[in-house]
Amino acid sequence: MNISAKQGERFAHAGLALLLLGLLPLALGPYWLNLVGKYLAFSFVAVGIVLAWGYCGILSLGQGVFFGFGGYAMAMFLKLEASAPELPDFMVWSSVEKLPFWWEPYSSLTVTIASIFLVPIPVAFIFAYAIFRKRVSGVYFAIVTIALSMTLVVLNIGQQGETGGANGITDFSTLLGFDIINDAGKVAIYWVEVVLLLTATTLAALLLHSRFGKLLIAVRDREDRVRFSGFDTAMIKAFIFTVSAVLSSVGGAMFALQAGLVTPSLIGAVTSVELVIYAAVGGRLSVVGAVIGALLVGFMKSYLSEHFPEIWLFFLGGMFIFVVWVLPNGLADLFRKILRVKA
């Protein structure tokens, strides 16, 4: 069967919707569905990485910063709810007597949700625009972002009275009184998450098909020519980086809800590199592929470490090498070849 690229993409999106809305919820029990929910939290970031890296050539190894921000924002709200009217337990152990001022806004769910979506926008934009204006790119940008994420991890762990330190923020069970730990709660979160994710993938696809999408590719391939044509390429790059930051933040919030805790390692370099690998495994040029990649790597980690607890890293490492070596454009490329999608 020969199909065009456009048809192929529509099939992929439809297939993803079918998988997430129909197949997985029907086929999986609450245990696996919760795990899928956790992997899907990472897939938000992976979609952002496809946009920024796959289409615009910006490799950020600091996506964990925004992922962590969303996660901590959500967890702060949940923790305040869980411990009200007392202070969160870790503050008590650290002899913090008054709620730090920057926790105050997070006693409101509206503010929390707004901040998850909105705070990354100015932060990511100003940071990225300043850097891209200086024409820092490629590996240097990757290193700057990695340094940034390390800085925040160290800061976070050091301020344990206000952030929970190395333990992170744990032990919350309700969202506005609604139990989010039991199976029904997890399933409800799953639906919210899937709806958000499908919205994100659809918007991402629309963005890539717009004139702006073409511009992104042009910036990736010949930034100087785009610049000479009169475009502010730094603005374009900062914009797409900001989009990916917001996606990461939403993913982080979902992670806090699904996993029931956040820890400093979410911000760190290892998480950030892994997130890039999720996107690479799925296919850096495919929004749907990124989601599938996150699902697949997440599943492999859980499955392999369960069945081969002593040696599972061999398989995981081997898989990364295999994918990069044999399938440089990830699994999405494999599907394209199988379905003979015309480029």
Partner 1 sequence: MTFRRGNQAPRRKAVIPAAISIEETFVTFGIFVMQLFNGLSLFTILLLMALGLAIVFGLMGVINMAHGEIMAMGAYTTYLTASFIEHHLPGLMGVYLFIAILLAFAVTFAFGYVLERGFIRWFYHRPLDTLLATWGLSLILQQTYRSVFGAQEVSVPLTTWLSGAWEPTETIQLPLNRIFIVALTILVTLGVWYILHKTRWGLRARAVTQNRAMSSAVGIDTNRVDALIFALGSGLAGIAGSVFTMVGSTNPGTGQLYIVDSFIVVVFGGVASLLGTAASSFLIAQMQTALEYLMSGSMAKVAILLLVITVLYFRPNGLFASKVRA
Partner 2 sequence: MSKISRRRFMQISGSLVAAGAIPGAGLLTKSSFAAEPIKLGLLHSLTGTIAIAEAALVEAEKMAIDEINAAGGVLGRMIDPVVADGASDWPTFAEKTKQLLQRDKVAAIVGCYTSASRKAVLPVLKQSKGLLYYPTYYEGQEEDKHVIYTSQEATQSVISAIEWMAKQQGKTFFLVGSDYIYPRTCNKIAKPTVARLGGKVVGEEYAPLGHTEFSSIINKIKAAKPDWIYSTVVGGSNVAFYKQLKAAGLDGGKQKLLSTVVSENEIDGIGKENAVGYYACMGYFQSIKSPENEKFVKAIKAKYGQDRVVGDPMECAYNSVYLWKMAVEKAKSFDVDKVTAASSGIEFSAPEGKVTVHKTNHHVSKKVRIGRARADGQFDIVHESGVIEPNPFPKL
Task: Note the residues at the interface with partner 1 (CB under 8 A).
Answer: 53, 59, 130-131, 134-136, 138-140, 142-144, 146-148, 150-151, 154-155, 157-158, 269, 273, 276-277, 280, 310-311, 313-314, 316-321, 324-325, 328
DSSP 132-144: HHTT--HHHHHHH
Of 212 and 314, the one with the shorter C-beta distance to partner 1 is: 314
Are 288 and 80 a contacting pair, CB within 8 Å?
no
CB of 239 to partner 2, least distance (A): 31
Closest CA to 204 of 247, 166, 156, 250: 247
From residue 189, alpha-carbon distances to 34, 38, 64, 186, 255 in Å are: 9, 10, 22, 5, 10
Closer residue to partner 2, CB minimum distance, 218 or 304? 304
Burial of 45 (0-12, 13-18, 19+ CB in 10 A): buried
Binding mask 193-232 for partner 2 (x = CB under 8 A): ----------------------------------------
Tell which one of 19, 152, 215, 261 touches partner 2 (CB under 8 A): 261
d(CA 91, CA 159): 10
Q: Which is nearer to partner 2, 114 or 181 (CB)?
A: 181
The smaller minimum CB distance to partner 1, of residues 23 and 147, is found at 147
Q: How far apart are CA 4 and CA 340, in angstroms?
A: 9
Nearest distance from C-beta of residue 293 to partner 1, angstroms: 12
Mention every residue, 6+ apart, whose C-beta is less than 8 A from residue 171. Answer: 79, 82, 89, 261
Nearer to partner 2 by Cβ, of 19 and 243: the residue is 19
Task: Build a one-symbol-per-residue string for 2-41: x at contacts with partner 2 by CB under 8 A, - elsewhere.
Answer: -------------------------xxxxxx-xx--x---
